[in-house]
Chains A and B, each alone.
Chain A
Amino acid sequence: GAVVSQHPSWVICKSGTSVKIECRSLDFQATTMFWYRQFPKQSLMLMATSNEGSKATYEQGVEKDKFLINHASLTLSTLTVTSAHPEDSSFYICSARRDRGRGEQFFGPGTRLTVL
C-alpha cells in the first residue's frame, strides 16, 4: 500500500510551452500533497503545498503564476509549468500525505523535465 504515481516520468518540451505533471495517490486519500524540485546532486527543495479544494501555498521565491497547482480530488494533484524555459529543467517530485494513521508522506517516482 501507500503508492504514489507520477505522470509522465519524463518530458522534453520546447521553450515557451506549458507542461502538466500529475501526481496520484493510488491506494489512499491525501488531502495534502507536496511538490518538490531537485537539481542534480542536490537535495529536495519544497516548492509548494497542495491542499484539496483550496489554493496551494507556495514557498518563498517560487512563482505561483509560473507553477500552477490544482488539487481537485483527494487522490490527484497537478503541477503545470507554464511558459517553460531551460532553467526550469529539473527533476520534479511529488509527495502525498496519508490522511489516516500518522500522516506519513509517500513520494512519487519523479518527473524529469527537460526544456530545450
Chain B
Amino acid sequence: GQQLNQSPQSMFIQEGEDVSMNCTSSSIFNTWLWYKQEPGEGPVLLIALYKAGELTSNGRLTAQFGITRKDSFLNISASIPSDVGIYFCAGQLGGTASKLTFGTGTRLQVTL
C-alpha cells in the first residue's frame, strides 16, 4: 500500500535541542495526524490537523498542515529523554471517516 515519506529517517539529538521533521505525499490529504510510538506499544495521537495552513500546538509540540495539502511538519522544542520514540505522520483523504495512510516514521533518540 501507499506510504508517506518522512524525513529524516532517524535523528540523534541532545537533550534541550529542538527537533523538526516532515512528511510529504504525492497526493493531497484532508486531515493530517501525528502519532508517537514507543517500543512494544501502539501509536499515541499527538496532534490532529484539519485545515490547510493550520498550525496547532500541544505543549512542546507544534505541527502544521501544509498549504498544498501534500505535506505536514512536526516540531518538538526543548527535547527531553522521554521524547524518544518513533514519530509517524498519517493522512486521511476523505475526512475523518476514512482510513489512515501512514508515513515511514522518524526515529528520535535523545542523549543527555
Contacts and interface: CB of A to CB of B under 8 A. Distances in A.
A102 B48 contact: yes
Nearest to A38: B37
A59 interface: yes
Interface size class on chain B is 20 to 34
Contacts of B88: 43-44
A93 B43 contact: yes
A45 interface: yes
Interface size class on chain A is 20 to 34
A104 B1 contact: no
Contact of B44 (A49, A102, A107, A112): A107
B42 A93 contact: yes
Interface in A40-73: 42-46, 49, 59-60
A110 B41 CA distance: 6
B44 to A, nearest CB: 7
A24 interface: no
A49 B96 CA distance: 14
Contacts of B3: 43
